[in-house]
Amino acid sequence: MPKIWPPIAFPINGCRVNKSVSKYYNGSDRELAQRYIRDIADIGTKEYYEAALAHRYGLYPEIPRIAAFESFKDKDVLEIGVGQGADHFMFAKGGASLSGIDLTEKHCRMTRQFLDAFGLHSNVLNGSACNLPFPSASFDHVYSCGVLLLVQDIEKALSEIYRVLRPGGTVTLMLYNKRSLHYLVKTRLYYGWMLGEDKAIGRQAVNDWYTDGPGYVRVYHYAPRDLKWIYKGFCDIAYQTSCLTPEQMPEVGLPLDNKASRWLERRFGFFLWGTARKP
Ligand SMILES: C[S@@+](CC[C@H](N)C(=O)[O-])C[C@H]1O[C@@H](n2cnc3c(N)ncnc32)[C@H](O)[C@@H]1O
């Protein structure tokens, strides 16, 4: 098992960043291809990107609805943690005037290449969520999916988002839900306690590794009520949850297509989507 605990925090652009985060993502540029899109197409081709989009929105069909990619035409949009570029491409395709940032230079490059392949453009910069290299009041919308849950100083990141938003600007974040079946039932109850993994590898490693696989970096989970302090100074705070999969109820499973499961997904899904507006 790779040694990732305890994490080492070091300052990048004025923000304490878990060293294992940049190390992990620097080493994972082919991860999507290796894990999911084998045999379909070579990375960097249009076919590859189309397969990546089909894969992502097949797995998470709620993302386009929640992110509302199409509704930011001609608006100034910033995505924090562009990753391998799928959501960034969707904003660009929807006509947003787009900027992006990622801690990992490799992911910046991959995202630029993704957009280039379709003749689209964004100002993608290498940097940290905690020190955004953009002037104050320069965006109408900030979006970040699965990124601030990796950031130790989430309050600093939110103060930066507040700064770069114009008054009336909006923010959508996806964090991991601490009040989810994934966290409470699968991670804590089943693996942590019943299978004794807390004792074997430690509670924190159980939380991290059962989120995204063995060796995954330190993650932070948040309850819906945490959005109140996370979105300090913002108004119109709202949330919804998504992502319910059968293995979130180990040994039992979950029916995925009935009223009850949709109800569960809306209340106890693993993805906590919070939106807010700068007054
Ligand atoms: C789980 S991936 C999510 C990528 C993409 N948003 C998605 O939904 O597929 C996390 C991404 O955030 C980036 N990241 C992690 N910490 C960051 C930080 N402090 N500032 C900016 N980007 C960060 C990583 O390099 C990686 O590309």
Q: How far is the CA of 262 from the centre of ligand 1 (A)?
A: 28
The stretch 107-130 carries a mean pLDDT of: 95
| Confidence (pTM) | 0.91
Q: Does the C-beta of 161 come closer than 6 Å to ligand 1?
A: no
Q: How far is the CA of 176 from the centre of ligand 1 (A)?
A: 14
- With 0-12 CB in 10 A as exposed, 13-18 as middle and 19+ as buried, what is 259? exposed
pLDDT of residue 32: 60
pLDDT of residue 22: 76
Ligand 1 atom closest to Cα of residue 25 = 25
Q: Does the C-beta of 171 come closer than 6 Å to ligand 1?
A: no
- Per-residue pLDDT tens digits for 133-159: 999 999 999 999 999 999 999 999 999
- Whether residue 4 is predicted with pLDDT greater than 50 in this model: the reply is no
User: Six-digit token pair at 203?
Assistant: 């509670």
Residue of 150, 154, 212 to test ligand 1 pocket, by largest number of atoms within 8 Å of CB: 150
The whole-chain average pLDDT of the chain stands at 88
- Per-residue pLDDT tens digits for 231-274: 999 999 999 999 998 889 888 787 777 888 888 899 999 999 99
Q: 10: pLDDT confidence band, cut at 50, 70 and 90?
A: very low
Question: How many CB atoms within 10 Å of residue 193?
Answer: 14
- Whether residue 212 is predicted with pLDDT greater than 90 in this model: the reply is no
Q: Does the C-beta of 271 come closer than 6 Å to ligand 1?
A: no
More confident: 39 or 109: 109
Q: How far is the CA of 125 from the centre of ligand 1 (A)?
A: 13
**Complete domains list, the chain, with CATH:** 10-176+217-238+270-277 (3.40.50.150)
Of 165, 161, 207, the C-alpha closest to 184 is: 207
Q: Does the C-beta of 147 come closer than 6 Å to ligand 1?
A: yes
How much of the chain, in percent, has pLDDT values that exceed 70?
88
Question: What is the residue with the minimal CA distance to atom 17 of ligand 1?
Answer: 103
Q: Does the C-beta of 85 come closer than 6 Å to ligand 1?
A: no
CA angle 127, 129, 135 (to 5 degrees): 80
Q: How far is the CA of 91 from the centre of ligand 1 (A)?
A: 17
- Whether residue 115 is predicted with pLDDT greater than 80 in this model: the reply is yes
